[in-house]
């Protein structure tokens, strides 16, 4: 009788033991790699970032520079990150964040997700990218969405290169352009902002209609457009005109790095500014501020082109040589930008107009 | 101790055992699936803490909603029809004919099922789009392209489900029909086909479920014009933070998925009854060598494998072997080992190793809970209430297959802040990754184990009990050996499913731990030189790993003819 009992007990407890073992194993491996800071541990600070961030390198360098134990966690692309921050308002998943761009910046500020803070040692050039004068958000880097072209393709065929938005609707560039769906891609949304800035809220949809009438192909995301359809994208693409970044030509250089095969049309750009901030209700406010200080320090700013393929916000930082040559930033006069608040306010309506008009 | 007292404690022990076996998996599903999903939907349907259902008529009053629901159903039906048409010959060839290389082909056919959808989507665009070898078909950007790509994933489901059933089908009735003078075709149509209907119907329901909740393929190939409910929920949540509309669409998705599950359960139970009517594994009936009469099926199967499966996979393989300037090279594969140049943390090799470890934990959780669930669901209780409870439980286990990864991911974010008094924030813990993957793998494990357990003759258990065996002895000597037979296959599925899992994993907040599919998606979406090529090479490695796991799992199956899939996936 007793042995049946013993076995029954063993059989019943085996699952519990197993679950306990698994959860112990998991929590064991999570204590050294997980992020959630406890109140007691004031040396630990957590930064939540978008997907294209050098997490480990940053954690090591920032820990050394700030004296805090810096942890980094990823939360998807810029839009996803923004929404996760809004959803977890009140019980933030980290102390500070980086990677919300000007398309979504108003959303985090309007939802009271951030605590204003102006980092110590903020470079002067940051003023050009300030979100507001309270320091709600700290600009860290900047990129530009621009039309890119395959220069060799046009040369081989003796066709003049397009220069601006209007050119893309001309008959000689028929069926050559790849755009990004602005409802699905943040890069696409940035290009849409540029066209709204250029043609106005009443005129941008007409422009898009002309693009589509001229045979423009609209892909879901940057990968499908650039790597799938563009002639210089590493695949077997057939279209020589594509929406990409002003920095893209620095990646299509020849082997000895003396020339590039593509070019960004600097008159078709709009800026994507990436912001960082302190999260309201953060367990380690002081640590969060230290991390922001480090993000704007020249030590980190210098690593931005190579690590994130964006331009540093600090104008004093020297760009890598091939960037200076092949990937110049568009000048202020060339840019087609809108204030973040206007983007947040208008975006859904623009997308609706566009989908009514061209069936996106 | 008196005899009645020992009987009593035995009874209590058994009762406790079954209750525990039910409560453990139930608790897991309620905690990590139901609570997060319900929380997110509730967030969308409340306003300042008050229930606000005004969104429901509003969203359903919008023409766009009906277009999306219509597309979802059309795509799922289309993909189901194509998958059945192509899967039936595949089932015949792979499970009724005997030829060299059959085991390899069975393994190969599971590869599509776990390839990252973003890679497959890109491969299909490369195939059908401008400059692609099949551009002349004019299928680029079409409804047909979407359902063909969905069939790419789902022909396997039909071949496996129907094939396993077909392998066990007793031929004597068809033979008799032939002897009585019926032609081959007529005998097939009047005898074999009707016998296969339950398995076909059950496979159809599964394919419908998978297709109606498909995300990556529909997003890439369909865009907004061919959006389905799943991609629309993604767009509303991630792009617009319109949780209200997303919640209403989630409700619509529950209804569609619930219907598919109900139909599938009905068809499955009728299928199981049908099998029970027949003799156990047909004695002496062996797979035959292919003959002239099998030619049509072989041609169909050959065309399916070559055009639908091999062509996109070869396109992918070919691209992964070409450098940026178009020359052939192994450079993309070499890049998987080096830590420099690629815009990711560490090397791809490290993420492969991490993925393997996480999948081990996920598969262990899924197997452990799956065995408990399968044991519980294989009982046949006398009481109506218990039986109904069990079918509810069955549906609950299947639900993770049919609920949007965005909803689950964002839901976990809302609920996993130190849940149940756990001392740490589970939202930012690596532990959540295997948990989410185990949820996705769980239905596959249960669906693999359950038919084997259900096929045990109930009289065997009664006989053992009446000869004095304790319930545990019955479990140990009758049920567990049967589980053991198909455990290898279930484990393989669980492992492969979590290895390839992308949706739920990518929506979790990850503590610097990137699994292979997440790394692949990042690489092919980056402008750094060599990044795209390395991503494609990573995708090939993922496909190869999965195929290897499935080949081994197929071999682990102890009895080669008997314990195949039968009418279930």
The answer to whether B413 faces chain A, any CB pair under 8 Å, is yes
Provide the residue count of chain A.
Answer: 360
How far apart are the CA of B430 and the nearest CA of chain A, in angstroms? 6
Q: Which residues of A touch B509 (CB under 8 A)?
A: 48, 73-75, 84, 93
The answer to whether A31 faces chain B, any CB pair under 8 Å, is yes
Say which CATH number the domain at A352 has: 3.40.190.10
Q: Hey, what's the torsion of the CAs at B95, B98, B99, B100, to 10 degrees?
A: 80
In terms of average pLDDT, the best of A289-293, B104-108, B268-272, B278-282 is: A289-293
CB B395 within 8 A of CB B225: no
Do the Cβ atoms of A30 and B429 come within 8 Å? yes
Residue A261 binned pLDDT confidence (cut-offs 50, 70, 90): very high
CB B366 within 8 A of CB B498: yes
The answer to whether B102 faces chain A, any CB pair under 8 Å, is no
Number of neighbours of residue B393 by Cβ within 10 angstroms = 16
Identify the residue whose tokens are 């996760």.
Answer: A84
The answer to whether B126 faces chain A, any CB pair under 8 Å, is yes
A33, pLDDT greater than 70: no
∠B259-B262-B266 over CA atoms, to 5°? 140
CB A103 within 8 A of CB A343: yes
Same domain for A303 and A263? no
Mean pLDDT of A118-133: 92
* ipTM of the complex in this document: 0.85
Same domain for A189 and A81? no
- H/E element, A217: strand A217-219
Same domain for A297 and A193? no
**Residue A79 is nearest to which of B43, B129, B238, comparing CB atoms?**
B238
Q: Which residues of B touch A5 (CB under 8 A)?
A: 9, 13
Q: Which residues of A touch B438 (CB under 8 A)?
A: none
Domain-located, residue A229: yes
Domain that holds residue A126: 44-142+273-312
Do the Cβ atoms of A76 and B524 come within 8 Å? no
The answer to whether A85 faces chain B, any CB pair under 8 Å, is no
- If you measure CA to CA, which chain A residue comes closest to B520? A223
Number of domains in chain A: 2
B562, pLDDT greater than 60: no
DSSP B23-66: HHHHHHHIIIIIHHHHHHHHHHTEETTEE-TTHHHHHHTSHHHH
- If you measure CA to CA, which chain A residue comes closest to B17? A12
Distance between CA B316 and CA B120 in Å, rounded? Answer: 8
Mean pLDDT of A258-269: 94
Same domain for A167 and A283? no
A44-49 and A69-74 as β-strands: parallel, antiparallel, unpaired? parallel
Do the Cβ atoms of B361 and A52 come within 8 Å? no
Q: Which residues of A touch B10 (CB under 8 A)?
A: 4
The answer to whether B10 faces chain A, any CB pair under 8 Å, is yes
Contacts of B26 (CB under 8 A, 6+ apart): B393, B396
A69-74 and A177-180 as β-strands: parallel, antiparallel, unpaired? unpaired
Q: What is the pLDDT of residue B293?
A: 81
Do the Cβ atoms of A15 and B132 come within 8 Å? no
Domain-located, residue A77: yes
Distance between CA B521 and CA B332 in Å, rounded? Answer: 15
More confident residue, B122 or B391: B391
Residue A7 binned pLDDT confidence (cut-offs 50, 70, 90): very low
- If you measure CA to CA, which chain B residue comes closest to A80? B238
In 3D space, the residue among A80, A279, A185 whose CA is nearest the CA of residue B410 turns out to be A80
Q: What is the pLDDT of residue B485?
A: 67
Adjacent-strand bridge partners of B469? none
Report the predicted TM-score, pTM, of the whole model to 2 decimal places. 0.86
Q: Which residues of B touch A82 (CB under 8 A)?
A: 241
Do the Cβ atoms of B512 and A56 come within 8 Å? yes
Same domain for A279 and A266? no
Same domain for A135 and A50? yes
Give the model confidence (pLDDT) of B211-262 as tens digits: 998 888 888 888 878 999 999 999 888 888 889 999 999 999 989 988 888 8
Mean pLDDT of A269-294: 96
How far apart are the CA of B182 and the nearest CA of chain A, in angstroms? 54
The answer to whether B239 faces chain A, any CB pair under 8 Å, is yes
Mean pLDDT over each residue of chain B, to the nearest integer? 84
Residue A102 DSSP class: T
Give the model confidence (pLDDT) of B537-547 as tens digits: 998 898 888 88
Do the Cβ atoms of A36 and B428 come within 8 Å? yes
Q: End-to-end distance of chain A based on CA atoms, in angstroms?
A: 73
Mean pLDDT of B454-458: 74
Same domain for A267 and A277? no
DSSP A131-188: S-TT-SSEEEEEEEEEEEEEHHHHHHHTPPPP-STGGGGSGGGTT-EEEE-TTT-HHH
Distance between CA B328 and CA B155 in Å, rounded? Answer: 32
The answer to whether A79 faces chain B, any CB pair under 8 Å, is yes
The answer to whether A61 faces chain B, any CB pair under 8 Å, is no
Distance between CA B395 and CA B374 in Å, rounded? Answer: 13
Q: Which two tokens stand for residue B47?
A: 């306003």
B81, pLDDT greater than 90: yes
Same domain for A159 and A68? no
Distance between CA B126 and CA B104 in Å, rounded? Answer: 27
The answer to whether A51 faces chain B, any CB pair under 8 Å, is yes
Do the Cβ atoms of A86 and B122 come within 8 Å? no
Distances (CA, A) of A260 to A157, A326, B444: 18, 7, 50
Domain-located, residue A134: yes
Give the model confidence (pLDDT) of B24-46 as tens digits: 999 999 999 999 999 999 999 98
The answer to whether A197 faces chain B, any CB pair under 8 Å, is no
Q: What is the pLDDT of residue B124?
A: 87
Domain-located, residue A33: no
Q: What is the pLDDT of residue A15?
A: 43
Q: Which residues of B touch A245 (CB under 8 A)?
A: 527
- CA-based Rg of chain B, rounded to a whole angstrom? 25
Distance between CA B34 and CA B259 in Å, rounded? Answer: 18
DSSP, collapsed to helix, strand or coil, labels residue B143 as helix
CB A16 within 8 A of CB B351: no
Identify the residue whose tokens are 């038919």.
Answer: B451
Mean pLDDT over each residue of chain A, to the nearest integer? 87
Do the Cβ atoms of B235 and A184 come within 8 Å? yes
The answer to whether B472 faces chain A, any CB pair under 8 Å, is yes
Domain-located, residue A10: no
Distance between CA A359 and CA A213 in Å, rounded? Answer: 12
CB B473 within 8 A of CB B14: no
Same domain for A51 and A135? yes
CB B529 within 8 A of CB A254: no
Residue B5 binned pLDDT confidence (cut-offs 50, 70, 90): low
**Residue B223 is nearest to which of A27, A31, A181, comparing CB atoms?**
A181
Burial degree of B540 (CB within 10 A; 0-12, 13-18, 19+)? buried
Please report, for chain A, how many H helices and E strands are present, in that order. 12, 11
Do the Cβ atoms of B24 and A251 come within 8 Å? no
Q: What is the pLDDT of residue B114?
A: 66
Q: End-to-end distance of chain B based on CA atoms, in angstroms?
A: 48
Q: Which residues of B touch A88 (CB under 8 A)?
A: 413-414, 417, 427
Distance between CA B168 and CA B65 in Å, rounded? Answer: 44
Percent of chain B with pLDDT strictly greater than 90: 25
Q: What is the pLDDT of residue B565?
A: 41
Q: Which residues of B touch A251 (CB under 8 A)?
A: 527-529
How far apart are the CA of A70 and the nearest CA of chain B, in angstroms? 12
Q: Which residues of A touch B241 (CB under 8 A)?
A: 82-83, 86, 107
How far apart are the CA of A250 and the nearest CA of chain B, in angstroms? 9
How far apart are the CA of A342 and the nearest CA of chain B, in angstroms? 15
Contacts of B127 (CB under 8 A, 6+ apart): B133, B134, B311, B312, B315
CB A48 within 8 A of CB A94: yes
Domain-located, residue A324: no
Burial degree of B561 (CB within 10 A; 0-12, 13-18, 19+)? middle
The answer to whether A228 faces chain B, any CB pair under 8 Å, is yes
More confident residue, A134 or B110: A134
- H/E element, B140: none
Give the model confidence (pLDDT) of A150-199 as tens digits: 999 999 999 999 999 999 999 999 999 999 999 888 899 999 999 999 99
Q: Which residues of A touch B532 (CB under 8 A)?
A: 223, 227, 233-235
Domain-located, residue A161: yes
The answer to whether A355 faces chain B, any CB pair under 8 Å, is yes
Same domain for A73 and A136? yes
- H/E element, A218: strand A217-219
Mutate to test the interface with A, among B223, B412, B469 (most CBs of A within 10 A): B223
DSSP B374-436: HHHHT---S-HHHHHHHHHHHHHHHGGGGS-HHHHHHHHHHH-SSGGG-SS-GGGSTTHHHHH
Same domain for A243 and A339? yes
Distance between CA B221 and CA B142 in Å, rounded? Answer: 8
Percent of chain A with pLDDT strictly greater than 70: 89
CB A307 within 8 A of CB A241: no
Beta-carbon contacts below 8 Å between A and B: 205
Same domain for A66 and A101? yes
Do the Cβ atoms of A360 and B224 come within 8 Å? yes
Do the Cβ atoms of A224 and B239 come within 8 Å? no
Mutate to test the interface with B, among A28, A106, A223 (most CBs of B within 10 A): A223
Domain-located, residue A307: yes
Return the minimum-mean-pLDDT range out of B87-96, B107-116, B159-168, B273-282: B273-282
Burial degree of A110 (CB within 10 A; 0-12, 13-18, 19+)? exposed
How far apart are the CA of A338 and the nearest CA of chain B, in angstroms? 19
């Amino acid at each position: 009788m007793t042995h049946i009992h013993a076995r029954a007990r063993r059989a019943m407890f085996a699952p519990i033991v197993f679950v306990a073992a698994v959860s112990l194993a998991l929590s064991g491996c999570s204590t050294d790699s997980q992020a959630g800071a406890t109140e007691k541990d004031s040396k630990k600070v957590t930064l939540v970032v978008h997907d294209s961030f050098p997490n480990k390198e940053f954690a090591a360098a920032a820990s050394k520079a700030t004296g805090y134990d810096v942890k980094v966690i990823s939360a998807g692309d810029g839009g996803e990150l923004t929404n996760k921050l809004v959803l977890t308002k009140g019980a933030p998943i980290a102390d500070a964040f980086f990677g919300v761009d000007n398309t979504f910046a108003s959303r985090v500020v309007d939802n009271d997700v951030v605590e204003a803070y102006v980092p110590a040692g903020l470079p002067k050039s940051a003023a050009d990218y300030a979100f507001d004068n309270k320091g709600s958000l700290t600009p860290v880097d900047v990129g530009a969405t621009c039309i890119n072209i395959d220069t060799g393709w046009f040369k081989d065929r003796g066709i003049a290169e397009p220069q601006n938005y209007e050119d893309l609707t001309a008959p000689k560039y028929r069926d050559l352009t790849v755009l990004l769906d602005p409802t699905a891609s943040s890069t696409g949304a940035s290009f849409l902002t540029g066209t709204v800035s250029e043609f106005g809220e009443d005129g941008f949809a007409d422009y898009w209609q002309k693009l589509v009438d001229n045979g423009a192909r609209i892909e879901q995301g940057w990968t499908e457009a650039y790597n799938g359809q563009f002639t210089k994208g590493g695949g077997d693409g057939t279209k020589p005109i594509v929406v990409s970044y002003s920095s893209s030509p620095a990646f299509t250089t020849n082997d000895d790095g003396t020339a590039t095969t593509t070019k960004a049309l600097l008159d078709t750009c709009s800026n994507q500014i990436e912001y960082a901030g302190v999260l309201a209700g953060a367990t380690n406010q002081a640590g969060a501020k230290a991390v922001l200080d480090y993000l704007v320090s020249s030590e980190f700013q210098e690593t931005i082109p190579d690590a994130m393929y964006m331009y540093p916000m600090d104008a004093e930082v020297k760009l890598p040589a091939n960037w200076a040559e092949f990937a110049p930033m568009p000048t202020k006069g060339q840019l087609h930008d809108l204030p973040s608040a206007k983007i947040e306010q208008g975006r859904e309506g623009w997308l609706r107009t566009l989908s009514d008009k061209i069936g996106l | 101790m008196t005899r009645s007292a020992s009987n009593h404690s035995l009874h209590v022990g058994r009762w406790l055992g079954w209750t525990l076996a039910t409560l453990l998996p139930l608790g897991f599903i309620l905690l990590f699936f139901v609570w997060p999903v319900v929380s997110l939907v509730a967030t969308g349907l409340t306003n300042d803490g008050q229930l606000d259902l005004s969104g429901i008529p509003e969203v359903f009053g919008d023409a766009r909603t009906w277009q999306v629901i219509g597309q979802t159903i059309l795509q799922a039906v289309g993909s189901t029809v194509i998958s059945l048409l192509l899967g039936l010959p595949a089932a015949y060839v792979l499970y009724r004919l005997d030829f060299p290389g059959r085991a390899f082909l069975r393994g190969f056919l599971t590869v599509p099922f776990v390839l990252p959808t973003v890679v497959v989507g890109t491969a299909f665009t490369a195939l059908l789009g401008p400059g692609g070898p099949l551009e002349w078909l004019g299928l680029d950007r079409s409804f047909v392209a979407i359902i063909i790509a969905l069939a790419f994933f789902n022909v396997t489901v039909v071949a496996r489900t129907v094939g396993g059933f077909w392998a066990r089908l007793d031929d004597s009735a068809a033979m008799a029909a032939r002897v009585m003078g019926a032609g081959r075709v007529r005998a097939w149509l009047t005898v074999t086909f009707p016998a296969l209907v339950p398995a076909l119907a059950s496979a159809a329901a599964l394919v419908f479920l998978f297709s109606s909740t498909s995300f990556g393929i529909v997003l890439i190939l369909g865009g907004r014009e061919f959006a389905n409910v799943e991609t629309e929920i993604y767009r509303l949540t991630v792009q617009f933070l319109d949780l209200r509309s997303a919640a209403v669409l989630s409700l619509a998705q529950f209804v569609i998925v619930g219907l598919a599950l109900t139909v599938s359960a009905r068809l499955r139970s009728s299928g199981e009854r049908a099998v029970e009517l027949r003799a156990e594994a047909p004695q002496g009936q062996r797979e035959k060598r292919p003959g002239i009469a099998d030619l049509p099926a072989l041609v169909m199967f050959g065309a399916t494998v070559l055009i639908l499966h091999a062509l996109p996979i070869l396109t992918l393989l070919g691209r992964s072997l070409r450098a940026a300037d178009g020359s052939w090279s192994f450079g993309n594969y070499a890049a998987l080992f080096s830590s420099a140049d690629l815009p990711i943390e560490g090397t791809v090799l490290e993420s492969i190793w991490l993925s393997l470890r996480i999948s081990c934990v996920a598969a262990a959780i899924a197997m452990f809970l799956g065995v408990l669930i399968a044991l519980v669901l294989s009982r046949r209780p006398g009481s109506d209430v218990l039986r109904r409870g069990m079918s509810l439980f069955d549906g609950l286990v299947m639900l993770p297959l049919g609920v949007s990864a965005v909803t689950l991911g964002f839901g976990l974010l809302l609920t996993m802040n130190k849940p149940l008094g756990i001392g740490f924030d589970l939202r930012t813990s690596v532990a959540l990754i295997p948990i989410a993957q185990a949820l996705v793998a769980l239905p596959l494990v249960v669906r693999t184990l359950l038919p084997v357990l259900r096929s045990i003759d109930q009289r065997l258990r009664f006989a053992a009990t009446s000869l004095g065996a304790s319930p545990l002895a019955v479990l140990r000597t009758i049920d567990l050996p049967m589980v053991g037979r198909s455990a290898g296959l279930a484990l393989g599925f669980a492992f492969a499913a979590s290895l390839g899992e992308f949706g739920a994993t990518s929506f979790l907040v990850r503590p610097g731990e990137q699994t292979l599919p997440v790394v692949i998606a990042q690489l092919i979406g980056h402008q750094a030189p060599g990044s795209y090529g390395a991503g494609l090479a990573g995708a090939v490695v993922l496909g190869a790993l999965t195929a290897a796991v499935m080949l081994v799992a197929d071999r682990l199956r102890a009895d080669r003819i008997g314990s195949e899939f039968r009418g279930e996936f």
